[in-house]
Structure 1
Amino acid sequence: MKSVKIDELDRLVIAALLAHPRATHAAIGQAVRSSEATVSRRLARLRRFGAVRVVGALDSQISHRARSVFVRLRCAPGAADELALPLAQWQETGSVKVLTGSVDCVAEVAYTSNEHLYALMMHRLPQFDGVMATFSNQVIRRFSTPHGWNPGLLPDTVVAELRADRRDRWSEHPEPDEAAPMSELDEQILTAVIEDGRMSWQDLAARCGVTPSTARRRTEALMAAGVLRMRTVVEPEVLGLTVNAFVWLTINPTKIGLAGEILARHRNVVMIAATTGDRNLCGEIAVASDSALYEFLSETVGHLPGLIHADVAVALRTVKRAGMIAPELRTAVAPSLP
């Protein structure tokens, strides 16, 4: 992200986008008590400098196209930085972070089959130099995701009003037994909206060779089915949340659901999911300071029902988020791995 000064109005505009990524400038203006023209200028500037972007996301679990696994790496001294970028270049990674704590790097990886995961974990990952140990936690239920993150910068009533106008699913729903069939036009729409989540109906229609009404109808059908979800992507520090961390928890199995729902409602929790492996509840948090992190751990995590063990690692660098490598790192040269 290029250097850009962020003020309170900018943060409120981003908060409105988090509540409704495709909200009109007029709706955002009403939410932040500013004019439509001002919102338009602010948002254009924020997007131009890379402070915020809006993307569409194919829900791989709802569409039955892929599963997710968190891969944690313990590395030799100095190796985490060197392997994070080539790991981010995998098309399977949605996010990659360099951490400080019990592990040195974490990545969210999408896989299409057990054979695919086997190849990634047993063949491709071991080719990285400096990996001392790996831990994997497969996602089996999502309690909250960044699609519905509310950092609490706007009043709850305003957030509810913005969310009420969303056509996509911002909260988590049970996975259907079968995936809905998708047409060639659906695939074209997905490709376009994944690149630009605020693309106009006219531009989307021109790209897909259909009328604007058809483009809107098919897009909103994909949203309603949960296949296409909208996401506002922003680094927490832009919102004044300068400490980004990951938590890996061991919860009594009878209390996982209750603990997950409690965390999902917390303003500082960006995402939380039930997983397999050595930890059964994994998530990302964002807080304003070290003291706020202490309070979150002692007052929220410490009082979770069924808590057995908690592990925390603070993020030092975001290498990849929401499928995109950080702009300042894209020109870096990294070794090519098969």
Structure 2
Amino acid sequence: MDSVKIDELDRLVIGALLAQPRATHAVIGQAVRSSEATVSRRLARLRRAGAVRVVGAIDSQISHRARSVFVRLRCAPGAADELALPLAQWDETGSVKVLTGSVDCVAEIAYTSNEHLYRLMMHELPRFDGVMATFSNQVIRRFSTPHGWNPGLLPDTVVAELRAERRDRWSEHPEPDEAAPLSELDEHLVAVLIDDGRISWQDLAARCGVTPSTARRRTETLMAQGVLRMRTVVEPEVLGLTVNAFVWLTINPTKIGLAGEILARHRSVVMIAATTGDRNLCGEIAVASDSALYEFLSETVGHLPGLIHADVAVALRTVKRAGMIDPDLRTTAGSRSGS
């Protein structure tokens, strides 16, 4: 990502996009009390610099296409940085981060079957040099995800108004017993929106060979079903939240739901999910400073009902987020391989 400095208006524009990723420039302008033209210029600059992007995503659990597992890796000294990029190049990884703490790397991996996961965990991961131990936590219930992250950049009333205009689901719902089938057109629409979540209905229709009204109707149907979700992707550091950390908690099983809901409502929580394995509640947080991290741990995590154990690891580098590898790291890897 190119170096970019943002001011308060930029932060407000990003806040509006987080609340409603497909909001028009006019709607964003109204939310941040600025003109449509100014919002257009600001957003174009932010997107050009790589500070923010909007993507569509198939909800793997709602669509029953895949399941998710968090894999934590403990590595030999110096090995985490070398294996993070090859791991990020897997199609199955949605995010990869290098950490400091009890583990050195964490990845969110999507798998389609137990056999698929078996191959990844038992055959592919062991091929990496320097992996000393692996821990896996399968996601079984999501309480919040980045699709609905609200870091508090805008007043709650404004966020609520913007969210009311969304056709996709920003909050979490239990997955249905049966998945809605996707047609060939649906697949094409989704593929385009995954690449550019703010593409106009006219351009989307042209790419897919249908009328704008058909493109919009089919896309909004997929959104209403929860199959297609929109997400504004921004590194917390861009917003001044310079401490990005992961928490792995052990909660009394009778209190997991209550603890998850409490964390899901907290502004510092980017995502939180109930999991299997050695920890049963896992999440990502973003705060402005070490003192803010201390306050979150002591005042929020420390008072969670049923808390038995808490483990925290601070992210040193984001290698991949929302399915995209950091362009600077891709360039670095390419120059190394060509030397």
Note whether the superposition's TM-score is higher than 0.5.
yes
Instruction: Give per-residue Cα distances to partners, 1:186-238, cap 9 Å, x unaligned.
Output: 00001000000000000000010000000000000000000000000000011
Residues 82, 334 of structure 1: CA spacing in aligned structure 2 closer, same or farther, 3 A cutoff? farther
Deviation at 1:101, TM superposition (A): 0.2
Could you tell me how far apart the structure 2 residues matched to 1:325 and 1:334 are? 15
Tell me, yes or no, if the aligned pair for 1:127 and 1:337 is still in contact at 8 Å.
no
SS at match of 1:312: strand
Residues 180, 9 of structure 1: CA spacing in aligned structure 2 closer, same or farther, 3 A cutoff? same
Instruction: Give per-residue Cα distances to partners, 1:273-294, cap 9 Å, x unaligned.
Output: 0000000000000000000000
1:227-266 to 2 correspondence within 5 Å?
Answer: 227-266=227-266
SS at match of 1:261: helix
Residues 195, 317 of structure 1: CA spacing in aligned structure 2 closer, same or farther, 3 A cutoff? same
Could you tell me how far apart the structure 2 residues matched to 1:337 and 1:185 are? 40
Deviation at 1:335, TM superposition (A): 9.9
Name whichever of 325-334 and 58-67 sits farther off: 325-334
- Verify: 1:11 aligned to 2:21, yes or no: no
Residues 70, 85 of structure 1: CA spacing in aligned structure 2 closer, same or farther, 3 A cutoff? same
Residues 175, 336 of structure 1: CA spacing in aligned structure 2 closer, same or farther, 3 A cutoff? farther
Deviation at 1:336, TM superposition (A): 10
SS at match of 1:189: helix
Could you tell me how far apart the structure 2 residues matched to 1:189 and 1:334 are? 35
Deviation at 1:73, TM superposition (A): 0.2
Structure 1: state its 5+ residue gaps: none
Deviation at 1:248, TM superposition (A): 0.1
Tell me, yes or no, if the aligned pair for 1:86 and 1:334 is still in contact at 8 Å.
no
Deviating 4+ runs (over 3 angstroms)? 333-338
Partner of 2:79: 79
Instruction: Give per-residue Cα distances to partners, 1:80-100, cap 9 Å, x unaligned.
Output: 000000000000000000000
1:10-89 to 2 correspondence within 5 Å?
Answer: 10-89=10-89
Deviation at 1:4, TM superposition (A): 1.2
> How many positions carry a matched residue from both structures?
338
Deviation at 1:327, TM superposition (A): 1.1
- Compute the RMSD of aligned alpha carbons: 1.8
Partner of 1:213: 213
Instruction: Give per-residue Cα distances to partners, 1:93-117, cap 9 Å, x unaligned.
Output: 0000000000000000000000000
Residues 61, 188 of structure 1: CA spacing in aligned structure 2 closer, same or farther, 3 A cutoff? same
Deviation at 1:165, TM superposition (A): 0.2
Deviation at 1:8, TM superposition (A): 1.0
Tell me, yes or no, if the aligned pair for 1:86 and 1:336 is still in contact at 8 Å.
no
Instruction: Give per-residue Cα distances to partners, 1:288-328, cap 9 Å, x unaligned.
Output: 00000000000000000000000000000000000000010
SS at match of 1:333: helix
SS at match of 2:134: strand
Deviation at 1:5, TM superposition (A): 1.3
SS at match of 1:334: helix
TM-score by length of 1: 0.98
Tell me, yes or no, if the aligned pair for 1:62 and 1:227 is still in contact at 8 Å.
yes
Deviation at 1:333, TM superposition (A): 3.8
Q: Percent identity?
A: 91
Could you tell me how far apart the structure 2 residues matched to 1:149 and 1:337 are? 39
Residues 199, 112 of structure 1: CA spacing in aligned structure 2 closer, same or farther, 3 A cutoff? same
Could you tell me how far apart the structure 1 residues matched to 2:338 and 2:218 are? 38
Could you tell me how far apart the structure 2 residues matched to 1:157 and 1:334 are? 48
Could you tell me how far apart the structure 1 residues matched to 2:185 and 2:51 are? 31
Deviation at 1:337, TM superposition (A): 17
Could you tell me how far apart the structure 2 residues matched to 1:185 and 1:199 are? 16
Residues 259, 337 of structure 1: CA spacing in aligned structure 2 closer, same or farther, 3 A cutoff? farther
Partner of 2:334: 333
Tell me, yes or no, if the aligned pair for 1:249 and 1:309 is still in contact at 8 Å.
yes
Could you tell me how far apart the structure 2 residues matched to 1:336 and 1:126 are? 22
Could you tell me how far apart the structure 2 residues matched to 1:283 and 1:20 are? 23
Residues 192, 295 of structure 1: CA spacing in aligned structure 2 closer, same or farther, 3 A cutoff? same
Tell me, yes or no, if the aligned pair for 1:86 and 1:335 is still in contact at 8 Å.
no
Could you tell me how far apart the structure 1 residues matched to 2:280 and 2:55 are? 29
Residues 320, 334 of structure 1: CA spacing in aligned structure 2 closer, same or farther, 3 A cutoff? farther
Partner of 1:156: 156
Tell me, yes or no, if the aligned pair for 1:147 and 1:170 is still in contact at 8 Å.
yes
Residues 15, 317 of structure 1: CA spacing in aligned structure 2 closer, same or farther, 3 A cutoff? same
Tell me, yes or no, if the aligned pair for 1:18 and 1:150 is still in contact at 8 Å.
yes
Structure 2: state its 5+ residue gaps: none
Deviation at 1:264, TM superposition (A): 0.2
Residues 187, 229 of structure 1: CA spacing in aligned structure 2 closer, same or farther, 3 A cutoff? same
Could you tell me how far apart the structure 2 residues matched to 1:251 and 1:193 are? 38
